[in-house]
Amino acid sequence: MSIPLSLMDPLTATIVVVSLMLLILLAFGSPIIYTGWKQRQQYHQLSAIHTSLDDAIPGEAVAVSGTVSSQSRTIDSPYRSQRCALALWDTARLSRGQGPQWFLEASGVMADELLITLDTEHVPVTGQLRQRRVLTTAQALSSALGVDVNSTLAFIDTELSQSGFEKQFTPTEDLTETYRAHNRDIGFDRPTRDSSNMLGRLLAEQLTPHNTVRYRELTFQGGDEITIIGEKTDDGISVVETGGTHPIISSESLSNRLSRYRREYVLRLYGYPAFCLLFSALIAYPIGGVPNANNVQFTLYI
């Protein structure tokens, strides 16, 4: 059944058009809203945890901020072989199928015996300090859409996006042995063709080619500022999930992270729907606000 909008009074027609436009815009922006909702959850979750080891009991979530101790045992970073106390890394592939998107192939944390200095005390950090994950297709898609906030290693992308080393190789470029060995280690079969069609090859001359691979790493040296969120242990902190709180290793203080989370979730969870409502109202205004609106020939199908 169809109802021409010209048979409705101007107010009803405006409400109908606004509602339809709003539903369409909200449907397209659902990943943005979902990410905002998850960030709001994280904000309230992190706001409630202890910020001192003295205030927490073993097994509780706690956030500690200090500097990387010079007494930490050093390791070689995965790509540059740089001596460091801690390294975060990831490997991603560029896809231009539906617009440019970096699909995460693998990411991880590398450390040996890590200590952080709180005042004059050297606190041991244990847990998942040799952890990595190789993503499935579904996980890679979630990461590309920005809805991977539930992962225990989701913090790595945030850290690497803000600072650190980055190296890209187009499909036709040769890799050094370091990168080839890394790909074998994570089971990544690197594509060697950028595009099979003429348009893709023409775009590759102006833009970053399809199937370009990106390698990023961030290292922490002795004296670097660091914030760790994890589980309090008898003698320090463990980088593991506890009480639904995912572990985080960051150069960003907890207060700055909370401010950023609040700003981002307000924009995504409340700002985007408000924009959609305003935009829908502007689009629908001529239907109900212009004289002779009964001449409008839009038809509503129900």
What per-residue confidence (pLDDT) applies to 298?
45
174 DSSP assignment: P
DSSP per residue over 54-107, as a string?
GG--TTSEEEEEEEE-TTSPPEE-TTT--EESEEEEEEEEEE-BTB-EEEEEEE
Q: Which residue has the tokens 């500690």?
A: 64
In angstroms, the CA 31 to CA 236 distance is 37
Helix axes 254-265, 30-47, angle to 10 degrees: 150
Q: Where do we find the tokens 């397209």?
A: 28
Q: Are strands 86-95 and 101-111 parallel, antiparallel or unpaired?
A: antiparallel
Q: In angstroms, rounded to a whole number, what is the distance separating the alpha carbons of residues 17 and 28?
A: 17
| Confidence at residue 147, expressed as pLDDT on a 0 to 100 scale | 47
Consecutive 10-residue runs of the chain (302 residues): their mean pLDDT? Answer: 54 74 87 90 92 92 94 94 94 82 89 91 86 60 50 79 90 92 91 63 68 94 94 92 87 92 94 89 63 45 43
Give the model's pLDDT for residue 227. 95
> Do residues 94 and 208 lie in contact, with contact meaning Cβ atoms separated by under 8 Å?
yes
pLDDT above 90: percentage of residues in the chain: 47
